[in-house]
A = this chain, B = another copy of it.
Amino acid sequence: MPVQQARARSRQQKILRAAADVISRRGYRDAAVEEIAREAETSKGGVYFHFPGKEAILLALLDHTAGLLRGKVEAAIAAEADPVAKADAALRTLLRILAKHRTLARVFAVEAAGAGPRFNARVSAIQDEFIALIREQLDDAVAAGAIAPMDTTVVAQAWMGALDAVLQRYVTAGSGGAGRRSLDEIHETLRLTLLRSIGAEPAPRPTGNGDRQDSGDRHDH
């Protein structure tokens, strides 16, 4: 019965979207299942028909989103040849996508943190995947002689943390403010800073990059 299956999947997607919304607004603990249900235009019972419990919703949301993100980042890496450019690409993609979906970024970086040890473990594992991704690129760059040897694990962690912090500010910052920076300005500063941090300053420098809007496929969540 592919009909029901499609329906079920669509319902689940709708609930996940609603959950992401509500959680990003209220935080995981204060996101009542009933409110998620309302946002998804269904009822508590409806939600519990599709998910075994509240916990499962966030876990599913986490995994689903992480999968999409990782796919994007891996694709971006594969599209580059030069090791340093690969690392740069991973960074750029992560920044761009997370910045576009502030809601998701909040859920990932903030809300899941205080949602209990099980979630911490999951988020930690997911972040580890991305850190590993960055680290691999750095390792390749070292192997290729493009940059000097270093503790790439720690450096990758630092990159991820820097990206996260800067993004956090960007997402959370009051909309007004005199010191407001555009995402592109932030990206450029961050890019230069991070590349310099591994001793790769005069990098390819795709300033007049023509690959903006790299693809048209839409599939939030």
Contact B172 A162 (CB under 8 A): no
In A183-210, the 8 Å CB interface with B consists of: 185-186, 189-190, 192-194, 196-199, 201
User: Which chain B residue shows the least CB distance to A25?
Assistant: B117
Instruction: Report the minimum CB–CB distance from A178 to chain B (whole Å).
Output: 11
A164 touches B (CB below 8 Å): yes
A113 to B163 CA separation, bound complex (whole angstroms): 17
For residue A83, which residues in chain B have a CB less than 8 angstroms away from its CB?
Answer: none
Write the residues of chain A forming the contact surface with B, with a CB cutoff of 8 angstroms.
27-30, 110-117, 120, 124, 150-151, 153-155, 157-166, 168-169, 172, 179, 181, 185-186, 189-190, 192-194, 196-199, 201
| Further 12 A-B residue pairs, CB within 8 A, beyond A154-B189, A158-B162 | A28-B114, A29-B114, A150-B192, A151-B185, A151-B189, A154-B190, A157-B165, A160-B165, A161-B161, A161-B162, A161-B168, A162-B162
